[in-house]
Amino acid sequence: MFNKKISTPPSDPLESNPFAKNARILRSPLLKSNQQQHQLEGALSQSESFLPQANIKVANEAAILEKLNQFEKLCETLQKEVNDLKVENQRLKDSLLLSEKSNDVSMKGTEIVNEFHTDEEELALETDWILKKNRKKNAKKRKAESSPEMDNTVITSKPSKSGKETVKVIKTKDKEIAKIIKPPPVILSNITDFNKVQDVMSSQKIKYEIKLLNNKQLSIKVNSADDYRLLTKLINEAKFEWHSYENKATRPCKVIARGLHPNCNVERIQHDLNEQGFNILSVVNIIKKKKENDKVVIDQLPIYMLNFDHSEDIDKIFSITHILNTKVKIEALKKQGEFVPQCKRCQRFEHTQAFCNREPRCVKCAGSHLTTECKLDRKAPPKCSNCHEAQLPRMCSGNRAKK
């Protein structure tokens, strides 16, 4: 009745079990051979990838070796050239020495040959200027050698044996040099009649020398102090305008003392220096003027100017260390700078009022009177007596000239 389909069992049991089929495939020798082939192909591909790098490395090493060989060859060639240069240098030195010796021998031979053919007159004419130049050099050298060494000298002034002249004595270790100091010249101004000057000078027996200067001025020089005093007396009696300069023979020695109190009594300072054995003439305290609230204020400075007699030893003066039991420092006077000195009497330059006997001129109004006698208002503008401009004489262009 019923038609039943009867299933037949499979001929191969592995077909019904897939896992068993896979296991059999994995155990098959064919599969193993395939795996080994894949491994060999992978190793071959890796070796092929490393091969270019190895080739590059080998090529680099070969290039380096080639460069090293070239460098060694270059060093060898340079060393050969250095050796050749040394040999050449030594050869040149030897040839130079031989040439110098031959020149010496030839020069000696020429001197001997030409010795008998020298023209003495022509030689004297050609070498005369050289001899004169050498004489001047030798004279300067002798003068320098004969001059005293200033480090070990003592300079003093004393009257001569006749008493009419002043002698400057310079003492050194080996010798003593005496030099006569002449009085300074006297300058006469506004001279219109030279015969009048001659008449005045010839009235007394004076040895003098006259030199003509510019601006109607005459310079008169004498040789002794007595003649100088007589000359000044004569020109004062004749009412000449004149000025002179400080006499170097009687000029006091001026120094600066620092370290004393500004309020020290100058008489006590002078007395203390006299007790120390110094012949001091005067002591002056240096002051400084300044304006405060339109008023002039005077400040006393701890600086004093000491004036010693010209006969004092300058080294002894600079050895002073204490005054009034106070430690001090002695210094030389500083120069006035580039400006020339100006007279406060006549307002002219190159001399001072202490040695001026010219017509006075006012520093404010340029009038013919002393500045202390001027009646001009203090606040009025000044007038220069030299350039006649509205300025003080110290601002004049004539005072800007260097010494």
The answer to whether residue 267 scores a pLDDT higher than 90 is yes
| pLDDT, tens digit (0-9, with 9 covering 90-100), for 116-131 | 444 555 555 555 656 6
Helix, strand, or coil (residue 4) = coil
pLDDT for 324 equals 93
Segment 48-57 mean pLDDT: 67
Question: The tokens 């002798």 sit on which residue?
Answer: 142
Separation between Cα atoms, residue 254 and residue 335, nearest integer Å: 12
Q: Residues 269, 323: contact at Cβ < 8 Å?
A: yes
31-45, 213-227, 235-249, 334-348: least confident range: 31-45
User: Angle at the Cα of 39 (from 37 to 41), degrees rounded to 5?
Assistant: 70
Strands 253-258 and 280-292 turn out to be unpaired
Q: Residues 347, 387: contact at Cβ < 8 Å?
A: no
The answer to whether residue 295 scores a pLDDT higher than 80 is yes
pLDDT for 45 equals 64
Q: What is the pTM of this model?
A: 0.51
Helix, strand, or coil (residue 135) = helix
**DSSP per-residue letters across 187-256:** EEES---HHHHHHHHHTS---EEEEEETTTEEEEEESSHHHHHHHHHHHHHTT-EEE----TTT--EEEE
| pLDDT, tens digit (0-9, with 9 covering 90-100), for 155-186 | 555 555 555 556 666 666 566 676 777 889 99
pLDDT for 260 equals 93
CATH architecture for residues 252-334: 2-Layer Sandwich (3.30)
pLDDT for 149 equals 43
Domain locations in the chain? Answer: 150-181, 186-243, 252-334, 337-403
Helix, strand, or coil (residue 290) = strand
Question: Cα separations (Å) of 260 from 42, 176, 264, 300, 308?
Answer: 111, 38, 7, 11, 18
The answer to whether domain 186-243 and domain 252-334 are alike in fold is yes
4, HSE (Cβ side, Cα atoms, 13 Å): 3
pLDDT for 257 equals 94
Q: Provide CATH code, domain 186-243.
A: 3.30.70
Segment 290-312 mean pLDDT: 88
